[in-house]
Amino acid sequence: MSSTVSDHLLERLAANGVHRVYGYPGDGINGIMGAMNRAGGGIDGSGPLEFVQVRHEEMAAFMACAHAKFTGEVGVCLSTSGPGAIHLLNGLYDAKLDHQPVVAIVGQQAQTALGGNYQQEVDLVSLFKDVAHEYVHMATDPAQIRHLVDRAIRIAKAERTVTCLIVPNDLQEEDAVPGAPHAHGTVHSGPGYSEPARVPGAAALQQAAAILNAGERVAILAGAGALHATDELIEIADLLGAGVAKALLGKAAVPDDLPFVTGSIGLLGTKPSWDLMQDCDTLLMVGSSFPYSEFLPEEGAARGVQIDIDAKMIGIRYPMEVNLVGDSAQTLRALTGLIQRKADRTWRETVEANVAEWWKVLEARAMNPGEPINPQRVFSELSPRLPENCILSADSGSAANWYARDVKLRRGMKASLSGTLATMGPGVPYAIAAKFAFPDRVAIALVGDGAMQMNGNAELVTIAKYWQRWSDPRLIVLVLNNRDLNQVTWEQRAMAGDPKFEAAQELPDFPYAAYAELIGLRGIRVETPEEIGPAWDAALVADRPVVIEALTDPEVPALPPHITFDEAKSLTRALLKRDPGSREIIRRSFREKLEEFLPRS
């Protein structure tokens, strides 16, 4: 049998460095699935491309996004036409908004039927036009496959974005044309991409250094774009006597066990990060588009320097005096040579004292009682137990608060979540992609019960299907079983001043641990605070993936570190409107606030 368009498509993906595809079949991609089978992409993984079967196409897109986040390579997902294509969208937007290179390969009904109001016929070029606006094309001739694949991969990498190829199912079965005869109207592309060096010009670097050298109280804010610049950030922070705060996606940029790292910033942030931004006179922002201006210095209160690889993302959060477009590590290296070490370390000492105090506050908060379990304690017990080089994912929900604040990442660990789209659902699929990319490392997903019911429970089936392939089988899913869409319950209280709307917020109970056992995983149900530590210990030595279901208290406030007057007013209003949890909330909020003022040894 001669090679088909589908065989050629897969060969071309492999030639571009792709070795794993996350997807779900359907008649829009039967030709591609047949080729995948011929190429040995099945369970034995013998071929150049491995096919991973998910439960839902959105999960395939989340996994492709996580693959990109954790490996730096392009992530690839595959879906059928119509419904499969539509299912991909949320995961693709997650990738696009967090600037991850992902290629979506999507089937389409036969070209002979298009325009005929045919079954499952959706205008896919239009559908993907926004999410993959840098590059979305439908192939209509076998000769296009070569350059469509080469370009989709290269543009995804170069622009750090989502691209999309649509392949009608009749075209998939046609004979391949890997090299069209040289002629007018043919395209002869090749694979390959190498990152250019990106360092700003000398004059701009000098200007930036002058600002940083003049500052007496320098604050650094690091984001996802600084994940590969750990050494450079530590070095410049040392020279400048600066504190380093981190945007959520930049949590792994500098380890949390350094005394001048103030931790996360923003609604899920820490008090020392708040103080750092309020009291600094100079702000150096590196690889971050952290959006909330109220957590940054007041306009004019600090002089600003920003480094970002993308000129579209620079100068939009704070009016910077110098905007340096460049790679964060390379630019910091160039800048460091121009920085004088600050002799006066008073500011640095203040930052370090604030950080040391804050960790004590967090420990004290975690030890407060809960009904039955204070969720913070689940995270603070995990933190010192984190195995070297583990990979963490967190879902959108209250788990993201405790992940951001209570988990102390050490050097070598990776961690991510849906930072910009902040969608529910990525926790479990991100951890699965982490295991496929790094089967020898422990993956830990921190997820709410709402997200488990939305998709995590289904994706546990994917874990059950594949875990025996991983050289280290440890993948732990922590479920916060609080029977509440808790993050939003708190947002409604603190921002809108509304009481808990039980019809919308309360979740049905579900036996997460028992369900895990039913499908061949281990399940541990944690019902008292004393069981938390032993549960983590057991999961970390288990011979298979584990679901830890912790019965956590929905009335522990996931409030911003420095609750504003307006938020306090709204909260009081919500409680006066007879919020069903009001008595408990008042008791716990006061206890938490008190923790910040109590003297500590």
Ligand X SMILES: Cc1ncc(C[n+]2csc(CCOP(=O)(O)OP(=O)(O)O)c2C)c(N)n1
Footprint of ligand X on this chain (CB under 6 A)? 395-399, 422-424, 448-451, 480, 482, 484-488
Residue 77's binding partner, choosing from Mg ion, ligand X, none, with beta-carbon cut-off 5 to 8 A by kind? none
Q: Of 195-203, 220-228, 298-306, 479-487, which segment contacts Mg ion by CB under 5 A?
A: 479-487
Q: Which is nearer to ligand X, 449 or 592 (CB)?
A: 449
> Tokens 């938390």 appear where?
532
- Residue 422 near which of ligand X, Mg ion, none (CB within 5-8 Å, type-dependent): ligand X
Q: Which is nearer to Mg ion, 337 or 508 (CB)?
A: 508
Listed in order, strand segments (DSSP E) in 292-342 are: 303-308, 322-325
> Is residue 395 close enough to count as binding Mg ion by CB under 5 A?
no
Shortest distance (Å) from residue 56 CB to ligand X:
13
Helices (H) and strands (E) in the chain, counts: 23, 18
Q: Which residues contact 323 (CB under 8 A, 6 or more apart)?
A: 306, 308, 311, 314, 315
Task: Decide whether 211 or 585 has the Cβ nearer to ligand X.
Answer: 585
Name the residue nearer to Mg ion (CB basis): 109 or 489: 489
Closest distance of CB 495 from ligand X, Å: 13
- Smaller CB distance to Mg ion: residue 334 or 485? 485
Looking at the Cβ atoms of 244 and 399, the one nearer to ligand X is 399
Q: Least distance (Å) from Mg ion to the CB of residue 485?
A: 6
Give the residue with the Cβ less far from ligand X, 288 or 457. 457
Q: What is the DSSP string of 170-210?
A: HHHTSBP-SSPPS-TT---------PPP----HHHHHHHHH
Give the orientation angle of helix 83-97 with respect to helix 57-71, to 10 degrees: 30
User: Which of ligand X, Mg ion, none binds 164 (CB below 5-8 Å, type-dependent)?
Assistant: none
Cβ-based nearer residue to ligand X, 455 or 582: 455
Tokens standing for residue 284: 């150096």
Based on CB atoms, which residue is closest to Mg ion, 118 or 510?
Answer: 510
Which span sits near Mg ion by CB under 5 A: 80-88, 319-327, 447-455, 465-473?
Answer: 447-455
Residues 71/437, Cβ–Cβ less than 8 Å: yes
Using CB under 5 A as the binding rule, whether residue 449 contacts Mg ion is answered as yes
With respect to ligand X, which residue has the nearer C-beta, 57 or 395? 395
Hey, which bits of 17-80 come out as E strands?
A: 20-23, 50-53, 75-79
Amino acid (1-letter code) at residue 587: R
SS3 labels along 446-481: EEEHHHHHHHHHHHHHHHHHHHHHCCCCCEEEEEEE
Among 6, 482, 570, 589, binds Mg ion (CB under 5 A): 482
**Residue 289, binding choice from ligand X, Mg ion, none, Cβ under 5 to 8 Å by partner class:** none
Longest dimension (CA), the chain: 80
The entry of ligand X, Mg ion, none near residue 275 (CB within 5 to 8 angstroms by kind) is none
Work out how close the CB of 76 gets to ligand X at its nearest, in angstroms, rounded to a whole number. 23
Q: How far apart are CA 264 and CA 269, in angstroms?
A: 4
Q: Of Mg ion, ligand X, none, which one sits near residue 424, judging by CB under 5 to 8 A according to partner kind?
A: ligand X
Among 82, 448, 499, 581, binds Mg ion (CB under 5 A): 448
323 close to 306: Cβ distance less than 8 angstroms? yes
CB closer to ligand X out of 399 and 513: 399
Q: Closest CB to Mg ion belongs to which residue?
A: 448
Given the complex with ligand X, which of 31 and 419 has the nearer CB atom?
A: 419
Q: Which two tokens stand for residue 264?
A: 């996360």
Establish if 505 lies at the interface with Mg ion (CB under 5 A).
Answer: no
- Ramachandran angles phi, psi of 165, nearest 5°: -115, 130
Nearer to Mg ion, 15 or 458 (CB): 458
**Phi and psi (nearest 5°) for 306?**
-125, 140
In whole angstroms, what is the distance from residue 336 CA to residue 209 CA? Answer: 8
| Residue placing its CB nearer to ligand X in the complex, 424 or 442 | 424
Q: Does 352 bind Mg ion (CB under 5 A)?
A: no
Residue 138: contacted member of Mg ion, ligand X, none (CB under 5 to 8 Å, by partner type):
none
DSSP for residue 161: S
CB-count exposure of residue 565 (10 Å: 0-12, 13-18, 19+): exposed
Minimum Å gap between C-beta 428 and Mg ion is 14
Q: Least distance to ligand X from the beta carbon of 505, Å?
A: 9
- Return the one option of ligand X, Mg ion, none that residue 487 interacts with (CB less than 5 to 8 A, by type): ligand X
Q: Which does 144 bind (CB under 5 to 8 A by kind): ligand X, Mg ion, none?
A: none
Tell whether omega for the bond before 372 is within 30 degrees of 0, i.e. cis: yes
Provide the minimum distance between the beta carbon of 398 and Mg ion in the complex, in angstroms, as a whole number. Answer: 7
Which residue has the closest beta carbon to ligand X? 448
> From the CB of 367, what's the least distance to Mg ion, in Å?
22
What lies within 8 Å, CB to CB, of 469 at 6+ separation is 45, 439
Work out how close the CB of 238 gets to ligand X at its nearest, in angstroms, rounded to a whole number.
37
Indicate which of ligand X, Mg ion, none lies near residue 14 (CB less than 5 to 8 Å, by partner kind).
none
CB of 524 to ligand X, least distance (A): 18
What is the β-pairing status of strands 391-394 and 50-53? unpaired
Spatial distance between the Cα atoms of 549 and 450, rounded to a whole number of angstroms: 13
**Residue 555 within binding range of Mg ion, rule CB under 5 A:** no
Torsion of CA 230, 231, 234, 239, to 10 degrees: -150
Segment near Mg ion (CB under 5 A); pick from 35-43, 99-107, 209-217, 444-452: 444-452
**What's the rounded Cα separation, in Å, for the pair 342 and 239?**
6
Q: Is 94 in the site for Mg ion (CB under 5 A)?
A: no
Pull the structure tokens for residue 408.
């102390």
Nearest CA-CA partner of 328 in 214, 417, 195, 172: 195
Helix axis angle for 346-367 and 582-597, nearest 10°, is: 150
Supply the minimum distance, in Å, between the C-beta of residue 509 and ligand X: 12
423 interacts with, out of ligand X, Mg ion, none, CB within 5 to 8 A per kind: ligand X
Q: Which residues bind Mg ion (CB under 5 A)?
A: 448-450, 482, 484, 486
